[in-house]
Amino acid sequence: MHKISIEEAKKISEIRNTIKDKKEDKRLHAIQLRGQGKSNKEIAEKLDTSIKVVNNWICKYVKEGIEGLLSKGQKGNHRNLTFEQEEEMLKKFRRKRTKKDR
């Protein structure tokens, strides 16, 4: 079982404040939680993913550091909204729904 130090978890917390990609944030959050002493099972439950995926993220972090968890230029159509884009889109749906409910 890989151990993540409290200092590493604090550094990751700071980096998470600058990340806009939700997938990257989720992977970094897993490492941060591990640094706080959470088990893979607890992390998987909290992040709504499998224990195997959490283990893969932690192993990748141990081998490659934070860079290993960041998205690399992927081919194809990967529509991943930033937190701000998602919130803006949801606002539009909420407004439409509110108008219908009247």
Where residue 43 falls (left for φ over 0; alpha for ψ -120 to 50; beta otherwise) is: alpha
pLDDT of residue 55: 94
Q: Is residue 26 a contact partner of residue 47, using CB atoms and an 8 Å limit? A: yes
**pTM beyond 0.75:** no
What is the mean pLDDT of each successive set of 10 residues along the chain, which is 102 residues long? 77 85 91 91 95 94 88 62 81 75 62
pLDDT of residue 101: 65
